[in-house]
Amino acid sequence: MSESAAALPHMDGATMEPSPYGVKTKKLTIWLFIASDAVTFGAILFGYSYLRVGTPDWPHPFRFSPSILNGMVMTAVLLTSSLTMLSAVEAAKAGRKASCLKWLGATIFLGIAFATLHLREWFHMFDEGWGLARNPTGGPVMFGATFFSITGLHLMHVISGVIALIVIAIGYKTSWLDQDHVETTGLYWHFVDLVWMFVFPLVYLMNAAR
């Protein structure tokens, strides 16, 4: 076998062509998922925008305190969790297992903190009379439907991410999973963070009471 052929990936003894993307299959798969999920969030945000533009008396229920302030803290928590996730990936790449697990633990904690803050915001809104088809101000009910759908979908992604991170941490600790799994889960976690960069301004700030 020539030297160039030996450098190519192999499977069951057969020589394969190198990936045109230059990444491993699991990483390419998570990128495919991220692309499809980005379109899902794009569609739901377009749906929200369509209803918002088409509804003349759209409500602006979010006062600076507590709602926008809570959203700012949630944004900071999620951004910080991306940083701790990066630290976990860097540690995994360097083979520092204990450090990786520590940073994964920090990311899980911040993910749970974000979900808790989010649910606190929801319960505050329920107390004010908002619901999927309820508007306490007597205006259009579409606000509640879109708000709880978009933030609920994002919250579901955060909770799924926390569960995935717990599984990855256990798997990595027991050497059942490797650094590539930490990296691909990290990509998903950063994506969840990026989606919030659109949800916060479009859903919270555009509906702030002025």
Partner 1 sequence: MGATHSPGMKFYVGVWIGLLCIAGVEVFVSFLGFPPHELLAILLILAFIEAGIGLLYFMHLKYERPILLWSFVLSVIFVLLMMNQIWPDAYRMVSLGRW
Q: Which helix (H) or strand (E) holds 15?
A: strand 14-15
| Sign of torsion over alpha carbons 76, 80, 81, 86 | positive
Can residue 57 be called a binding residue for partner 1 (CB under 8 A)?
A: yes
Can residue 24 be called a binding residue for partner 1 (CB under 8 A)?
A: yes
Q: Give min distance, CB of 119 to partner 1, in A.
A: 21
Can residue 35 be called a binding residue for partner 1 (CB under 8 A)?
A: yes
3-state secondary structure of 181: helix
Residue choice 70, 72, 155, 159 for contact with partner 1 (CB under 8 A): 72
Residue choice 113, 173, 179, 198 for contact with partner 1 (CB under 8 A): 198
Question: Which of 43, 119 has the CB closer to partner 1?
Answer: 43
Q: Which helix (H) or strand (E) holds 11?
A: strand 10-11
Residue choice 8, 76, 156, 170 for contact with partner 1 (CB under 8 A): 76
Q: Give min distance, CB of 204 to partner 1, in A.
A: 9
Q: Nearest 10 degrees: CA dihedral of 113, 116, 118, 124?
A: -140
- Name the one residue in this structure whose structure tokens are 């302030």: 69
158, 118 in Cβ contact below 8 A? yes
Can residue 95 be called a binding residue for partner 1 (CB under 8 A)?
A: no
Question: Which of 121, 193 has the CB closer to partner 1?
Answer: 193
Distances (CA, A) of 80 to 8, 27, 76, 122: 39, 23, 6, 22
Question: Which of 12, 210 has the CB closer to partner 1?
Answer: 210
Can residue 124 be called a binding residue for partner 1 (CB under 8 A)?
A: no
